[in-house]
């Protein structure tokens, strides 16, 4: 994957400055009638005001979602 701040939706973290708030999200699953096999990973949500960025590390994979 190529990162280039001249491309749409590509930014350097430093361009965004400090987020207004950082929230730690802990997804959960509870079941009855069967054991859960789905993976659940914690997420960090950075609130930049106009948008939020959710990031998650799944073992060797890094996920980022702009909300």
Partner 1 sequence: MIFTWKLQGVSDTEISETDYLLFSAGTYNTNIIVGEFNDSTHVKTDAGVDKSSANTPNNNKYISATEVSLNGGATQDLDTATDSDAVLTINVTDGTFAIEDALFFTFNGSSPSQQALRLDTYSAEVGDTNWSHSINRTNALALTDKTSDTSHDYYILLSISPTNPGICNGTMRLEGVMS
- Long-range contacts of range 3-10, CB-CB < 8 Å, 24 or more positions apart? 9/66
The residue (of 10 and 65) whose beta carbon lies closer to partner 1 is 65
25 sits near partner 1 (criterion: CB under 8 A): yes
- Judged by CB under 8 A, the residue of 7, 35, 64, 67 near partner 1 is 35
Q: What's the min distance (Å) between Cβ of 30 and partner 1?
A: 4
- Residue 2: how many other CB atoms lie within 10 Å: 5
Residue 65 found at the interface with partner 1 (CB under 8 A) = no
Contact criterion met (CB below 8 Å) for 64 and 44 = no
| Residues in contact with partner 1 by the rule CB under 8 A | 23-38, 43
């Amino acid at each position: 994957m190529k990162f280039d701040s001249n491309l749409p939706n590509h930014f350097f973290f430093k361009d965004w400055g400090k987020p207004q708030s950082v929230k730690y999200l802990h997804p959960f699953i509870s079941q009855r009638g069967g054991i859960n096999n789905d993976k659940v990973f914690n997420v960090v949500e950075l609130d930049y005001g106009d948008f939020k960025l959710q990031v998650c590390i799944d073992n060797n994979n890094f996920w980022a979602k702009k909300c």
